[in-house]
Amino acid sequence: MRTIINKIIEKFNRNEARLMDILLDVQAEFGLISGDAVTLIAEGLNISSVDVQQTISFYHFFSQKSRGKYTIYLNDSAVAYMMGRADIARTFEEECKCKFGSVTEDGQIGLFNTACIGMNDQEPAAIINGIVFPKLTESCVKDIVNGMKEGKSVPEMMGELGDGENSNKLLNSMVNNNIMKTGSVLFSDYKNGTAINKLVTMTPKEVIGEVKASHIRGLGGAGFPTGMKWDFCSMAEGDERFVLCNADEGEPGTFKDRVILTELPNLIFEGMTIAAYAIGAKEGILYLRQEYHYMKAYLESVLDKLREENYLGKDIAGKIGFNFDIRIQFGAGAYVCGEESALIESCEGKRGEPRNRPPFPVQKGYLQKPTVINNVETLCSVVKIIENGGEWFSMMGTKETAGTKLLSISGDCKYPGVYEVEWGIRIRDMLEMVGGEEAYAVQVSGPSGICISKKDFKRTICFEDLPSGGSIIIIGKERNLIKDIVCNFMDFFIDESCGSCVPCRSLPLILKNKLQKLLDGNGVMSDLTDLENWSKNMKAANRCGLGQTAANPILSTLKNFREDYEALIKNKEKDFDTGFNLDAAVAASCEAVGRNPQI
């Protein structure tokens, strides 16, 4: 063990900032990171053991105990449940004779829940030893578990491969792209390298000017003007600069980056190269969520090809002195690492705790150097902006939101998948497009976004009306909004907070318990006021976007679906709050003394 671990540490130059990679390699090698391994890593990096442990214990996919020869991570997003996740989970438990969150007695199979894996268009889905199994049925679960009992390898149990590049030997994946609508930016015809060849004829200032002229805003959710971000970064003081691409895609319900990563990876890397040229960076990092580990070999091969073609490396596209290269950094299961400063911390091998701002990443980012972080889709759009000009791009979309947007649409609709639409699309038109006219509610922009009712279906998706990072979840009439959706979202935030800020660590659970109290029929009207008042504190008091939006599922449904809440309160006049069912609580003692419980 010592030699293997030392080798891994050497591979990363005994660099503490590469702790994530070291841990990922150790976990891949041994299936777990044991106490002895922790000691060896701590020694090798000359840090304390608790410093190694703090990183390990932060991430969902690291484990200090064995999670089985076969490790099954079953998605538990709200949409997975809509698509029959409960039956699939039950079948796994019956077949394995073991509960979720544990490993079979013989140590062979481990069953674990996991947050949205970016497959909402093909749920229920699980990741088994790194391989995605979409559209699970009870019979395929039985086959899989039988295969495991026979000792088959996971690839042996795979079914039909997915569409597009998914059947590429290096991807070899059962995932489907489900590209339902292509638009004029991301999916326009493009010859690889065109933008880079043009790029090197421009000055960095001209590049930033073109991006500014396009009026493109970040497509990862926050909508910050990209040109301005690059400009700030290029002006910030620093001897080195970095470009980071955010492919963490953690917001439940989005899966558009997954499709870009499989079908248009060239665009991502070209986009990063353009950003590098604009700000003067030599190094770039693609931060990729662990759930997409199956893309590793494929993406590495794309990078290799770019290096061969001199679109990465030294003197790119013949431009003397333009040097830039990209490495892939995997995450290990933490939604908060999609937040830009947490992403940086994670790239530095630490816990994914968001930083305080100021300073902003453009001033002090990765390794405290000026850093640009952009979403996958933003960088791809920039390639087309350089190719066709900023003005071309700015003509699309709405007044304040130029261009197109990839929507990831899932839930109760006929045609889930990704759709490239112009900003400004009306919710009603979108529902028609996807066969979701019957919707009771639409969750725009994932759990951290808002839940709208019919009266708002005339509204439009754009930053001046309903902003969206791309996740659209359609909720049908048959769903119990509070139980199936709001509670599921709250559970997500309860697990995914980094734990730093008191309100973000504490309140979501308190709020969720209150919802449960209402669902149990023990609520009173003042509970609704409490929910509202307490939720408001989340927005005001927390450090990052996660905590600031974590009460949105409650706030937006309280606003738009208040009747659903009131329907849970049996006696609206009741002004005292027992918080529990008094009759049931005293039933046993009443029976013992032979009295009727009557209060």
Ligand X SMILES: Cc1cc2nc3c(=O)[nH]c(=O)nc-3n(C[C@H](O)[C@H](O)[C@H](O)COP(=O)(O)O)c2cc1C
Give residues in contact with ligand SF4 (CB under 6 A): 336, 353-354, 497-501, 504-505, 542-544, 546-547
Q: Determine the Cα–Cα distance for residues 590 and 435; give it in Å rounded to an integer.
A: 55
Quick one: which of 6, 15, 34, 49 contacts other proteins (CB under 8 A)? 49
- Residue 76 near ligand X by CB under 6 A: no
- Residue 222 near ligand X by CB under 6 A: yes
Binding-residue pattern over the window 27 to 46 for ligand X, x denoting contact by CB under 6 A: --------------------
Per-residue tokens: 423? 């900003």
Residue whose tokens read 């770039």: 284
Quick one: which of 107, 151, 159, 499 contacts other proteins (CB under 8 A)? 499
Work out the angle at residue 120's Cα, subtended by the Cα atoms of residues 119 and 124, and round it to the nearest 5 degrees: 80
Report the phi/psi class of residue 337: left, alpha or beta, with left for phi > 0 and alpha for psi in -120 to 50: alpha
The least distance separating ligand X from the CB of residue 585, rounded to whole angstroms, comes to: 40
Q: Determine the Cα–Cα distance for residues 551 and 563; give it in Å rounded to an integer.
A: 19
Q: Determine the Cα–Cα distance for residues 541 and 250; give it in Å rounded to an integer.
A: 23
Amino acid sitting at position 373? I
- Residue 408 near ligand X by CB under 6 A: no
The least distance separating other proteins from the CB of residue 2, rounded to whole angstroms, comes to: 17
Helices 226-235 and 265-279 cross at an angle (nearest 10°) of 40
The residue (of 357 and 458) whose beta carbon lies closer to ligand X is: 357
Asked if residue 230 lies in contact with residue 271, where contact means CB atoms within 8 angstroms, the answer is no
Among the residue ranges 157-165, 295-303, 371-379, 435-443, the one whose residues contact ligand X (CB under 6 A): 371-379
Quick one: which of 12, 58, 294, 393 contacts other proteins (CB under 8 A)? 58
The residue (of 274 and 554) whose beta carbon lies closer to ligand SF4 is: 554
SS3 state at 100: coil
Quote the DSSP letter at residue 116.
-
- Residue 155 near other proteins by CB under 8 A: no
Amino acid sitting at position 74? L
Provide the CA 305 distance to its chain's centre, in angstroms.
Answer: 28
Q: Give every strand in the sheet of 283-288, ordered side by side.
A: 325-330, 283-288, 242-247, 371-375
Quick one: which of 253, 338, 436, 446 contacts ligand X (CB under 6 A)? 338
Quick one: which of 339, 465, 527, 564 contacts ligand X (CB under 6 A)? 339
DSSP 34-56: -HHHHHHHHHHHT--HHHHHHHH
Binding-residue pattern over the window 333 to 372 for other proteins, x denoting contact by CB under 8 A: -x----------------x----x-x--------------
Among the residue ranges 39-47, 111-119, 221-229, 298-306, the one whose residues contact ligand X (CB under 6 A): 221-229
Q: Determine the Cα–Cα distance for residues 355 and 116; give it in Å rounded to an integer.
A: 24
Q: Determine the Cα–Cα distance for residues 496 and 512; give it in Å rounded to an integer.
A: 14
The least distance separating other proteins from the CB of residue 548, rounded to whole angstroms, comes to: 9
219 binds, among ligand SF4, other proteins, ligand X, none (CB under 5 to 8 A by kind): ligand X
Binding-residue pattern over the window 516 to 535 for other proteins, x denoting contact by CB under 8 A: --------------x---x-
What's the longest Cα–Cα distance across the chain?
94
Binding-residue total with ligand X (CB under 6 A): 22
Asked if residue 443 lies in contact with residue 485, where contact means CB atoms within 8 angstroms, the answer is yes
- Residue 220 near ligand X by CB under 6 A: yes
Instruction: Return residues touching other proteins (CB under 8 A).
Output: 46-51, 53-54, 57-58, 334, 351, 356, 358, 494-503, 505-507, 509-510, 513, 530, 534, 537, 540-543, 579
Q: Which residues bind ligand X (CB under 6 A)?
A: 218-222, 224, 246, 248-251, 336, 338-340, 373-375, 378, 544-546
